Amino acid sequence: MLGGTSGAVRRVSELYDGIDAPVVACGIASAELIKYASNAFLATKISFANEIASLCDRLDADVDMVMHGVGLDRRIGPAFLKAGIGYGGSCFPKDTKALDYLSSINGYDFHLLKAVIEVNAGQRRLPIMVLRDALGDLRGSQVAVAGLSFKPNTDDTRETPAVEIIATLLADGAVVRGYDPAGRLVFEGESFEQVPTLAEAVSDARAVVVATEWPEIAAADWLTPIASMHEPRLVFDGRNCVDGDSVRDAGGVYVGVGRR
């Protein structure tokens, strides 16, 4: 234990008796920064992987292989090095912005953190740019968004990339169907419908955006869904979780993040 041994510290520490976890006693400011800095660092790893993915697209490299190799360095580790359409949820977006704000009001310009936030915002625009390039004018085009929660095995849709992606698609005039095993989204008065199965979401769509790596999506047999789609039968894999060869073998067009 570091720091003081006041009664309050001792009583809180006793709650962890029998648990194999270190206890750090520190001041309020340090405790707050530990929490913010931890999440900001993990967000930084994600954004770094996404920047490398953009470079991979330009060099004909595979970001999955690159990050696998990087993660083998025990000083770095493999966690949070998976490229995709960025982080979401209740912690990373809030804590990175809070740490940036805390820095600014105390006279410090946190350049690195600002870049992390900027990179994450840019990742959410990737599928939109790909769809605009492949489909042209999106007005009237049916698009499926597979995965609405910010990560698998949760119904939490706070700050999920799917929200921004769907909102932009709707603004472009697309007709959007969404699918998620647990998460729920509502866009009042818009051309959005959430359906109970992946097959229903994909049927008659020209493109699919995979926004969450649910097992139900990643391990899906894409043969029948691709057959139910219209040209160009594009699958934008925003989590690099789908087997691209299975999509291509089914007659679809596969685009991943840094997998070109």
Q: Which uninterrupted H or E stretch holds 255?
A: strand 253-255
Angstrom distance (rounded) from CA 43 to CA 252: 32
Angstrom distance (rounded) from CA 143 to CA 248: 18
Phi, psi of 123 (to 5 degrees): -65, -30
Q: Are 260 and 237 in contact, with CB atoms under 8 Å apart? A: no
With residues binned 3-state (H G I as helix, E B as strand, rest as coil), the percentages for the chain, rounded to 5, are 45, 10, 45
Angstrom distance (rounded) from CA 174 to CA 140: 5
From the list 158, 162, 138, the residue with the least C-alpha distance to 239 is: 162
DSSP annotation of 178 reads E
Angstrom distance (rounded) from CA 123 to CA 84: 7
91 classed as catalytic: yes
Token pair 């073998």 is found at 249
List 26, 56, 91, 241, catalytic entry:
91
Report the amino acid identity of residue 104: S
Which residues are known catalytic residues? 91
